[in-house]
Homo-oligomer: A and B are copies of this chain.
Amino acid sequence: MNEVFKAIADSNRRKILKLLNDGELNAGEIGQSFELTPPTLSHHLSILKAADLIRQRREGTQLIYSLNTTVMQDLAAAVFDLIPAQTTDLTTENP
């Protein structure tokens, strides 16, 4: 889990996650939203991948990235764990 928190500590990486919210994208498409060189983008993607926040698959010459929603949910749970119980009142029905 520590790796996940480190991964989302960078705003570029959080932006990548948000982009993937709307569906999978290849590396080049992701890069169009940033002013970073391809190596830097690739580095960020590899950190997100190492944290298992995203998945990668190849399609011909391009690598296509998508969110790993399972780990995203684990992250949400871990964040809630940081917050006092009464405070976290998103579900209006807690016994």
**Contact string, A1-31, partner B, CB cutoff 8 A, digits 1/0?**
0100110110100100110010000000000
Tallying the copies of this chain within the complex gives 2
B11 engages A2 (CB within 8 Å): yes
Q: How large is the interface on A (under 10, 10 to 19, 20 to 34, 35 or more residues)?
A: 20 to 34
Stretch of A35-43, A56-64, A67-75 at the chain-chain interface = A67-75
Task: Flag whether A32 is at the interface (Cβ < 8 A).
Answer: no
Task: List residues of chain A with CB under 8 Å of any chain B CB.
Answer: 2, 5-6, 8-9, 11, 14, 17-18, 21, 67, 69, 72-73, 75-76, 79-84, 87-88, 90-92
Q: List 16 A-B contacts (CB under 8 A).
A: A2-B11, A5-B8, A5-B14, A8-B9, A8-B82, A14-B82, A17-B82, A69-B83, A69-B84, A69-B87, A72-B82, A72-B87, A73-B83, A73-B88, A90-B91, A91-B92
